[in-house]
Chains A and B, each alone.
Chain A
Amino acid sequence: MPEVAELQPALEAVWTKPETLTETRMHYCPGCGHGVVHKLLMEVVDELGIRQDTIGVAPVGCSVFAYQYLDVDMQEAAHGRAAAVATGIKRVLPDKYVFSYQGDGDLAAIGTAETIHAANRGENILVLFINNGIYGMTGGQMAPTTLIGMKTSTTPEGRETATMGYPLKITELLAMLPGVYSVSRHAVYSPNTVRALKKAITKAFQYQKEKKGYCLIEVVSNCPSGWKMTPVESNKWLEKNMLPLYPLGDIKVEGTLVQPVQKKEGQHS
């Protein structure tokens, strides 16, 4: 009779959690992109072996608790001030890796001034910008990046430009500033987009090590709860509606614009 152990070949580990992700159960809604971006960010920190040299800044918004999940030193910033807090850290610890992780409301509404001036000074930081076109944390209100016609709790008839203005393409706006070194737009709704984002994060940390300056990565993400869709529906909706206005890809590579930052409007639904 063979031993039981021989009948059960050792299981092969095909997935592990990055060491720098804590065991804390995430509060994000099912299907939300935040969890994926957190994991990628920490995978890169692990792979580059820079946990002891990395300091993150969490904003106000859904990712206000990011520091509960990312096992690196973190500072939680006031709403919109992540770029200023990151500047304060980086200026006194110039050899450390500093990133901020901000949503659209934080980065492109209440924090617009801090965002633009940190970029314009060429602060040598990485800004991860999660754009889901909605205020998730406060219950689904209009964000600066909300699409025209998109329904939110404060645009129940859909966003109309006459009174609410246009979706703010802050990433393109920032890309034009000479202090900005690298700008790209990514997503996490498919294996390919996830892989591309991970590469971009890795590159951004390398640029920071080489003191190249300000790097911005926008992640066009979903908000199943705020959009009132299932996770699968939200990803399909994202691809169909968000990406035409917020197309994926490089916008500025090593200080050079590679995409026209002003397209003719009217390409969005």
Chain B
Amino acid sequence: MSEPLLMKGNEALAEAVIRAGCRAYFGYPITPQSEILEYLTAEARERGMVVLQVESELAAINMVYGAAGAGVRAMTSSSSPGISLMQEGLSYIASAELPCLVVNVNRGGPGLGTIQPSQGDYFQATKGGGHGDYRLLVLAPDSVQEMADFVFDGFDLADKYRNPVMILADGALGQMMEKVVFREYDPKDHETAKPWATTGKSGGRERNIITSLHIQPEKMEDINKHLQEKYRKMQTEVRYELIHTDDADIVLVAYGLAARICHSAVEMGRNKGLKLGLLRPKTLYPYPYDMVRELSAKVKGMHVVELNSGQMVEDVRLGVNGKVPVTFFGRMGGMIPSPEEVLASVEARIAQLHDEPREEQIYA
């Protein structure tokens, strides 16, 4: 373990990228994550990494395709509009089964939007995003510490499943400074054999081809079946954190920055005698449906809080499957609710539970 350091989220993430043995980063500047590109550029030469500022996010994601296909740990990072531009490439990468890391420091949208924090990219991150039937593994940090930790986990998971992994952060996590400790991690201990990589046809082996083109529909369906089988296996990677859920009447569900605000709101509510708990998914794909189901069997209601108009709430409803009412509170476009505001939404929700138990929506 390293000494505790005080670092910006984006910089802690970038430092972890180097320590995780990433060999190539390709990126294009966009607020609020340009520090990742800047940090890596400054460190690249001495620490033996290819770091390239390129002409667009399209170029960046396709360079990741090339480098990952050549068998090295490769990544890019961007923020919402840039990630939209990468969706084509991500679909190709998922289909060609190339392991890589993509970081989205989510900002407010739609459109050019704002540079303030948002969780408006939940659907884009967890439901595929580009064309075709595919999934990314999605990790959602809620602290500078996890901005670093999830880089190591992300590369390991990418290699384990030959699948792109996304870290879905937000502008606040990228910009804020907190204590971070880097784990002991020797990339050599985490190397995966990549006999499929295009490193040159030698040693009498067949040529390696990285492609997502399978023109025969029978073959394309087989590829799809294989991918779906892989996604089923990936369900075992689900990760979450539970806070005060043992005796909770109402469980809040939130990830990332929203979860931190909810944590404060839960503590404030507990001080007022309200039995509140918090479920914080750390993986957004795979999603902790089983835990949502389990909790829904013993609580009076679930209350989802997001920095969007209600995206993850759909997954909570799938998990709850009608057992208890599910309500939602969100702010959009880069606005961040205070813990007081969240608590007020919970209290309004409790009042509602007594009056009209099936009323399901609360909007800000």
Count chain A CB atoms within 10 A of each CB in B23, B62, B68, B201 and give the residue with the most: B62
- Contact of A131 with B by CB under 8 A: no
Contact check, A78 vs B200: say whether CB atoms are below 8 A apart: no
A236 to B132, CA, bound (A): 44
Contacts of B60 in A (CB 8 A): 84
A76 to B52, CA, bound (A): 22
Minimum CB–CB distance for B204 against chain A, Å: 10
Known: A72-B201, A92-B70, A93-B199. Is A81-B58 also a contact (CB below 8 A)?
Answer: yes
Interface flags, B300-323, vs A, CB<8A=1, else 0 = 000000000000000000000000
- Contact of B338 with A by CB under 8 A: no
Minimum CB–CB distance for B311 against chain A, Å: 27
A118 to B201, CA, bound (A): 25
Contact check, A84 vs B59: say whether CB atoms are below 8 A apart: yes
- Contact of A228 with B by CB under 8 A: no
Contact check, B198 vs A74: say whether CB atoms are below 8 A apart: yes
A64 to B209, CA, bound (A): 12
Count chain B CB atoms within 10 A of each CB in A53, A74, A89 and give the residue with the most: A89
- Contact of A73 with B by CB under 8 A: yes
A81 to B68, CA, bound (A): 15
Contact check, B207 vs A87: say whether CB atoms are below 8 A apart: no
Contact check, B198 vs A77: say whether CB atoms are below 8 A apart: no
- Nearest residue, chain A, Cβ from B67: A88
> Interface size bucket, A side?
20 to 34
What DSSP secondary structure best describes chain A's contact surface? helix
Number of A-B contacts (CB under 8 A): 132
Interface flags, B60-82, vs A, CB<8A=1, else 0 = 10111111111110100000000
Which residue in A51, A88, A116 is a CB contact (below 8 Å) of B70?
A88
Known: A75-B211, A113-B59. Is A89-B202 also a contact (CB below 8 A)?
Answer: no
Contacts of A88 in B (CB 8 A): 24, 26, 62-70, 74
- Contact of A71 with B by CB under 8 A: yes
Contact check, A81 vs B62: say whether CB atoms are below 8 A apart: yes
Minimum CB–CB distance for A90 against chain B, Å: 8
- Nearest residue, chain B, Cβ from A81: B62
A161 to B68, CA, bound (A): 42
Contact check, B211 vs A73: say whether CB atoms are below 8 A apart: no
- Contact of B50 with A by CB under 8 A: yes
Contacts of A65 in B (CB 8 A): 213
- Contact of B54 with A by CB under 8 A: yes
Contacts of B59 in A (CB 8 A): 81, 84, 87, 113-114, 117
- Contact of B352 with A by CB under 8 A: no
Contact check, A78 vs B66: say whether CB atoms are below 8 A apart: no
- Contact of B192 with A by CB under 8 A: no
Contact check, B210 vs A54: say whether CB atoms are below 8 A apart: no
Contacts of B202 in A (CB 8 A): 52-53
- Nearest residue, chain B, Cβ from A95: B200
Minimum CB–CB distance for A3 against chain B, Å: 40
Which residue in A73, A91, A116 is a CB contact (below 8 Å) of B63?
A91
Interface residues of A in 54-82 (CB under 8 A from B): 54-55, 57-58, 64-65, 67, 71-78, 81
A92 to B44, CA, bound (A): 13
A55 to B210, CA, bound (A): 11
Contact check, A85 vs B24: say whether CB atoms are below 8 A apart: no
Which residue in B50, B68, B210 is a CB contact (below 8 Å) of A91?
B50
Contact check, A84 vs B201: say whether CB atoms are below 8 A apart: no
- Contact of A86 with B by CB under 8 A: yes
A58 to B88, CA, bound (A): 17
Contact check, A114 vs B65: say whether CB atoms are below 8 A apart: no
Contact check, B213 vs A64: say whether CB atoms are below 8 A apart: yes
Contacts of A89 in B (CB 8 A): 66-67, 69-70, 198
- Contact of B361 with A by CB under 8 A: no
A204 to B128, CA, bound (A): 41
Which residue in A58, A77, A81, A92 is a CB contact (below 8 Å) of B67?
A92
A86 to B65, CA, bound (A): 9
- Nearest residue, chain B, Cβ from A117: B55
Contact check, A73 vs B66: say whether CB atoms are below 8 A apart: no
- Contact of B269 with A by CB under 8 A: no
- Contact of A39 with B by CB under 8 A: no
Contacts of B65 in A (CB 8 A): 75, 77-78, 81, 84-85, 88
Contact check, A87 vs B66: say whether CB atoms are below 8 A apart: yes
- Contact of A209 with B by CB under 8 A: no
- Contact of B92 with A by CB under 8 A: yes
A74 to B211, CA, bound (A): 8
Contact check, A78 vs B89: say whether CB atoms are below 8 A apart: yes
Count chain A CB atoms within 10 A of each CB in B54, B89, B203 and give the residue with the most: B54
- Contact of B212 with A by CB under 8 A: yes
Contacts of A84 in B (CB 8 A): 54, 58-60, 62-63, 65-66
- Nearest residue, chain B, Cβ from A80: B58
- Contact of A38 with B by CB under 8 A: no
A73 to B71, CA, bound (A): 12
- Nearest residue, chain B, Cβ from A57: B66
Minimum CB–CB distance for B288 against chain A, Å: 33
Minimum CB–CB distance for A82 against chain B, Å: 9
Question: Which 7 pairs show the lowest CB-CB distances between chains A and B?
Answer: A88-B66, A88-B63, A52-B202, A84-B62, A76-B211, A73-B198, A81-B62
Q: List 28 A-B contacts (CB under 8 A).
A: A52-B201, A52-B203, A55-B198, A58-B211, A73-B209, A74-B210, A75-B198, A76-B209, A76-B212, A76-B213, A77-B62, A78-B62, A78-B88, A78-B89, A81-B59, A81-B89, A87-B59, A88-B62, A88-B70, A89-B70, A92-B67, A93-B70, A93-B200, A96-B199, A113-B59, A114-B55, A114-B62, A117-B55
> 17 extra interchain contacts, Cβ-Cβ under 8 A, other than A84-B62, A87-B54, A113-B56?
A72-B200, A73-B209, A74-B198, A74-B209, A74-B210, A74-B211, A81-B59, A84-B60, A84-B63, A84-B65, A84-B66, A87-B52, A88-B24, A88-B65, A89-B66, A113-B58, A114-B58
